[in-house]
Structure 1
């Protein structure tokens, strides 16, 4: 997709916001189903495999029906496989956090990705990071400490590690996607991630797969469908609106996760989560607004790169 085409496309910000809200509802529902499936005895490798494998035929059929199967052509299979390695590890962490932690806590920890992205930018890439983003990083990690601190309700260490690990890995993936998005269609990034991720996770199936009843198989099917729908909704939202317009809607996932936790598990977040989550959300909003401002100030193409990166990155869940 050329930058000229992106610039010329008519924007419909209200439609973009509605699509992004629907995407967050789908993603939150997917992780709710993941938690239920985990409690029903479906192992993590099975959840990872079926989450990705279910989306392959859906993507393939949509592309075939629209005559866009050629979008999957690539000369960068190695880059896709490397991105899928990181992405599959990140998906394992996300699913692990959803199964081990209360959904609001797992969702909040997922919002730490921008914090780790800033750290990678400064410490690994050696790029300049201003005082606004450093302040946001400190604010965000203060929120994490409030949620997981000694005064809070006990948080399983493995679940906490999975949630923060997801934040680190998704931040790393965002840099890989930034490179891929310069030459690859976003749907190609999604398809090859699912393809290689299915292969990688299939290796573990002989050790972890077990017989399931109709209930468990319906859960796995629903997880795959919700994930695929979320991917298409995320992509569609960025076809009609800018990153800065729609990304704020991502935090509505916290509303959905709290609602699901209350209705299905009779669990409401403790006071520590109510205090810490707004700090993490505020930090993410500060970082997003600053990066969008800087991209716009540097050049229009930088903003387009930002949009392409977000479009592909958000499809890796």
Structure 2
């Protein structure tokens, strides 16, 4: 039944968001135990490769990874890795709830880039939502105070911007390349690139830290595959609202593991940003303008 498929898609999405939120908490834990940014990124990509390969092998088959657009995958990898630096950096610099909240601005940046770069028609409804969304950012950051570190907030917003840029690239690549092919090449191409700087930073860790680093890759990979599966069973408009449950996970992990609780300004501004993003997604679905873009959907594998 159609209703059963939609429910399955929603449950997969909720599971995926929980996995990616868990990955963020593990990134923060790994850093607290001495793992650096490049090291964490390397293991994030390395351990996702066997998962992605197995998923493709049991689905469309390994023959589907053939591509005639290798240059496009190289470009996507370069932009994706740059975005990962900011995404992981935001997790390390900010409390988890605030880092998650900045990721909610992805639809806002996607709207701006779509209008400027792709010349997509953007009416006053979505431009109004963009303005409201950035008002929400001001509420959360309180730039006139020391509520959120300015550098951390900047990194968080840059992370969202690069997620949106990757979305623009994937809209173009997706015209000829299956999702699995794109995910595979991003994972495979990024490992040797990250291995070069990581080779100069290799250091010993205790078994628990190594387990956390492996877990970052495996849990993140499982989460990304669940995201992909969610849109196969349910419409994007049905599963996108589930992405905002990441704020709940970010808050719980931040409080339980790191003793950090979101401030009142975050609780006030986050719903404004979420409402802006949901309205943009709704308008895109209604007008048939490109696929809706969310922070979780674009999380690199």
TM bracket (short chain): over 0.9
- In structure 2, the residue matched to 1:256 is 249
- In structure 2, the residue matched to 1:105 is 98
Matched, 1:146 2:139: yes
Q: Kindly indicate whether the alpha-carbon contact (under 8 Å) linking 1:234 and 1:315 is maintained by their aligned counterparts in 2.
A: no
Task: Give the Å deviation of 1:159.
Answer: 1.6
Paired residues, number: 300
**Superposed counterparts of 1:182-221, under 5 Å:** 182-221=175-214
Task: Give the Å deviation of 1:219.
Answer: 0.3
Match of 2:126 among 128, 133, 140: 133
Secondary structure of 2:291's match? helix
Secondary structure of 2:260's match? coil
Task: Give the Å deviation of 1:221.
Answer: 0.8
Task: Give the Å deviation of 1:142.
Answer: 0.6
Which blocks of at least 5 consecutive residues in structure 2 are unaligned?
none
Matched, 1:287 2:272: no
Q: 1:48 to 1:314 in 2, by over 3 A?
A: same
Q: Kindly indicate whether the alpha-carbon contact (under 8 Å) linking 2:114 and 2:168 is maintained by their aligned counterparts in 1.
A: no
Q: 1:235 to 1:223 in 2, by over 3 A?
A: same
- In structure 1, the residue matched to 2:89 is 96
CA-to-partner distance for each residue in 1:61-99, whole Å, 9 max, x for gaps?
333345711121111111001001111111111111111
User: Structure 1-normalised TM-score?
Assistant: 0.89
After the TM superposition, which of the residue ranges 57-66 and 182-191 deviates more from structure 2? Answer: 57-66
- In structure 2, the residue matched to 1:22 is 15
Which whole-Å CA distance do the structure 2 matches of 1:231 and 1:312 have between them? 8
- In structure 1, the residue matched to 2:300 is 316
Matched, 1:245 2:244: no
Q: 1:65 to 1:114 in 2, by over 3 A?
A: closer
Secondary structure of 2:239's match? helix
Which whole-Å CA distance do the structure 2 matches of 1:313 and 1:263 have between them? 26
Report runs of 4+ in structure 1 exceeding 4 Å deviation: 150-153, 309-313
Which whole-Å CA distance do the structure 2 matches of 1:149 and 1:229 have between them? 36
Which whole-Å CA distance do the structure 1 matches of 2:131 and 2:299 have between them? 27
Task: Give the Å deviation of 1:239.
Answer: 0.7
Which whole-Å CA distance do the structure 2 matches of 1:105 and 1:315 have between them? 17
Which whole-Å CA distance do the structure 1 matches of 2:144 and 2:48 have between them? 42
Which whole-Å CA distance do the structure 1 matches of 2:151 and 2:40 have between them? 18
CA-to-partner distance for each residue in 1:130-168, whole Å, 9 max, x for gaps?
111111111111111111114665322332122111111
Which blocks of at least 5 consecutive residues in structure 1 are unaligned?
1-8, 296-301
Task: Give the Å deviation of 1:127.
Answer: 3.3
Task: Give the Å deviation of 1:206.
Answer: 2.7
Task: Give the Å deviation of 1:255.
Answer: 0.4
Which whole-Å CA distance do the structure 2 matches of 1:282 and 1:311 have between them? 14
CA-to-partner distance for each residue in 1:225-252, whole Å, 9 max, x for gaps?
1111111100110110111110010000
